[in-house]
Amino acid sequence: MELRALQYFVTVAEELHFGRAAERLNIVQSAVSQQIARLERELGVRLIDRSPRHVRLTEAGARVLEAARETLAASARVRVVAGESAARLRIGVASGLTDRLERGVALLRVAERPAEPELVDLPMPARLDAVRDGDLDLALVRGPVAATGVRVVRAWSEALWAVVSESHPVAGLPTAALADLDHTALRLPSREVDPPLHDAIVSALGRAGVGPSVRPPSGTVVNVLIEIGADRHAWTVLPAEQLAGLGSRRVRAIPLDPALTIDGHVVASLTTPDICVTSFVKAFADR
């Protein structure tokens, strides 16, 4: 039994579609079908029911799926324990360098099994797809992640700050209260830009009594900041770490009181060994 066949089976089980599985594996669909058929012959059981309308796991397939994932994870652990070179650790990130990112990269370089991180700037959800497909070793994501085929672990908590025009009434204050902001003037980036972050911000605002923005989304974060700079009543909220390097003189970033926070997550492959995931989380956790 080849590990490759188990990997193909796990991918088909996650996608429930041979074509999509082949795309993820970057091979032709016929090769996937052949490997699954060979695995079924070796095991003597039917793993997948196929029809023109659907692909689904059999009862035996569901049992084998769990064991296949455990086997692939064990194989990865063997390579780690054997000292296989981990010179390159591909990390999917959003644009911008933060203190947390710099600190995490430094910690990974001197960890028990040192790695040389390579930062890959990718939008959401391409970051998750790249982890699932094996093109990234892990990704950092702000906000809730609802995705199949990846492992999501909470790693940190991050404050949200208000961003207002330099001419906004609260611009000169040490903190801003949501009650002092015009809720109808709220600007938010489009959800398509970063769905987990968008959902986390909307949820945090909702818990604080601020309903969904009545204005249409403003595209990217840059679009939002430009709009705010031109409107003395407009405002938004963004992660404080993301705003640390804000160089615009037309807007101000101000801590909220009471504070609002969102969670940050490490996203890794389902086959990544636990010891590696623990190391990733430790590197980017709150200090």
pTM of the model: 0.70
Distance CA 197, CA 217 (A): 14
The residue type of 231 is D
User: Could you tell me what percent of the chain has a pLDDT over 70?
Assistant: 94
Architecture of 88-156+264-284 per CATH? 3-Layer(aba) Sandwich (3.40)
Distance CA 41, CA 244 (A): 57
Above 90 in pLDDT, residue 249?
Answer: no
Above 70 in pLDDT, residue 210?
Answer: yes
Instruction: Write down the pLDDT at residue 232.
Output: 92
- How confident is residue 137, by pLDDT bands cut at 50, 70 and 90? very high
User: Could you tell me what percent of the chain has a pLDDT over 90?
Assistant: 51
Instruction: Write down the pLDDT at residue 214.
Output: 63
Which tens digits make up the pLDDT trace of 30-48? 888 889 999 999 999 999 9
Which tens digits make up the pLDDT trace of 57-106? 999 999 998 888 888 877 766 765 665 554 589 999 987 778 999 999 99
Which CATH fold topology does 3-81 show?
A: Arc Repressor Mutant, subunit A (1.10.10)
Q: Where in the chain is the domain with CATH 1.10.10.10?
A: 3-81
CA angle 185, 123, 198 (to 5 degrees): 30
Q: Which range is most confident: 145-154, 186-195, 251-260?
A: 251-260
Which CATH fold topology does 157-263 show?
A: D-Maltodextrin-Binding Protein; domain 2 (3.40.190)
Instruction: Write down the pLDDT at residue 218.
Output: 72
Q: Where in the chain is the domain with CATH 3.40.190.290?
A: 157-263
Above 90 in pLDDT, residue 265?
Answer: yes
Query: Is-contact 261 158, C-beta < 8 A?
Result: yes
Q: Where in the chain is the domain with CATH 3.40.190.10?
A: 88-156+264-284
Among 65-79, 111-125, 150-164, 222-236, which stretch is predicted with the lowest mean pLDDT? 65-79
Cβ neighbors of 82 (< 8 A, separation 6 or more) are none
